[in-house]
Amino acid sequence: MSKFIIGKKSGMTQMFDENGNVIPATVIECEPMYVLQNKTVETDGYVACKVASGTVREKLVNKPDKGQFKKADVEPKRYIREFTPDEEFSLGQEIKVSDMFSVGDHVDVSGVSKGKGYAGNTKRHGQKGGPSGHGSMYHRRVGSMGATSTPGRVLPGKKMPGHMGAVNCTVQNLSVVMVDGDRGILVLRGAVPGPKGGVVTVETSVKAPKN
């Protein structure tokens, strides 16, 4: 079964297993999702389930989205996402985190990474620094730019300073260590992308271990 949920990163903590070992854990707050639309190959060209989650003031929702919520008989929500399920859900159906996940599941978490601003090569690409002796004047700058007269230009793809972070990324194969459906909490082993309060999507892992 394909499992999915929309969540909000609450922060990191630690838990202990039955042997007393420390488990680094990330807490994700998962409000109930509501099904807005079941997309099919005949009508849309592909199969997907459109869901919505999160509270929002109605005046902040645009007209097209209001129409979707009205058609599904669902109160306006802040976040709308599409997933590819193995089964079809009924319009307006409520989906809780406990309906989807259980302890021991392996998941992939996607979100927007923390923005680091403008960064140099040493921080952005992990490149080695120049000579650290006095007077070298070349400690953390860009290295060789390539050939001189031929081709006489910097080739595309050269690793250079620039904006770092604030990109979509996915962390794979995190295991579920706790699910609390009443409080809407999902706890995963390890770290997930983004800052506290960042929106993430949690789905069944595409490379889950066979054991």
Query: 1-30+103-127+159-206 and 32-95 share one CATH topology?
Result: no
What band does 1 get if pLDDT is binned at 50, 70 and 90? low
Task: Evaluate if residue 6 carries a pLDDT over 90.
Answer: yes
Residue in the block written with tokens 């009205």 = 70
Residue pair 55/6 in contact (Cβ under 8 Å)? The answer is no
CB atoms under 10 Å from CB of 153, counted, come to 9
Domain range summary for the chain, segments of one domain joined by +: 1-30+103-127+159-206, 32-95
* Average pLDDT estimate for 72-82: 92
Amino acid letter, residue 55:
T
Residue 150: partners with Cβ closer than 8 Å, 6 or more residues away: none
Residue, of 138 and 8, whose pLDDT is higher: 8
Element (H, E) at 82: strand 77-83
HSE-CB for 35 with a 13 A CA cutoff: 18
3-state helix vs strand vs coil in the chain, percent to 5 = 10, 40, 50
Taking CB atoms within 8 Å and a gap of at least 24, the contacts of 50-54 are 50/80, 50/81, 50/82, 51/4, 51/6, 51/80, 51/81, 51/82, 51/83, 51/95, 52/77, 52/78, 52/79, 52/80, 52/81, 53/6, 53/77, 53/78, 53/79, 53/81, 54/6, 54/8, 54/78, 54/79
Summarised one tens digit per residue, pLDDT across range 177-202 is: 999 988 999 999 999 999 999 999 99
Phi/psi at 6 (5° precision): -100, 135
Residue, of 162 and 88, whose pLDDT is higher: 162
Residue pair 199/27 in contact (Cβ under 8 Å)? The answer is no
Element (H, E) at 39: strand 33-39
Mention the CATH class of domain 32-95. Answer: alpha beta
What band does 211 get if pLDDT is binned at 50, 70 and 90? low
* Average pLDDT estimate for 153-176: 94
Residue pair 51/80 in contact (Cβ under 8 Å)? The answer is yes
Task: Evaluate if residue 205 carries a pLDDT over 70.
Answer: yes
The CATH classification number of 1-30+103-127+159-206 equals: 2.40.30.10
Residue pair 179/193 in contact (Cβ under 8 Å)? The answer is no
- Rounded CA gap, 12 and 154, in Å? 42
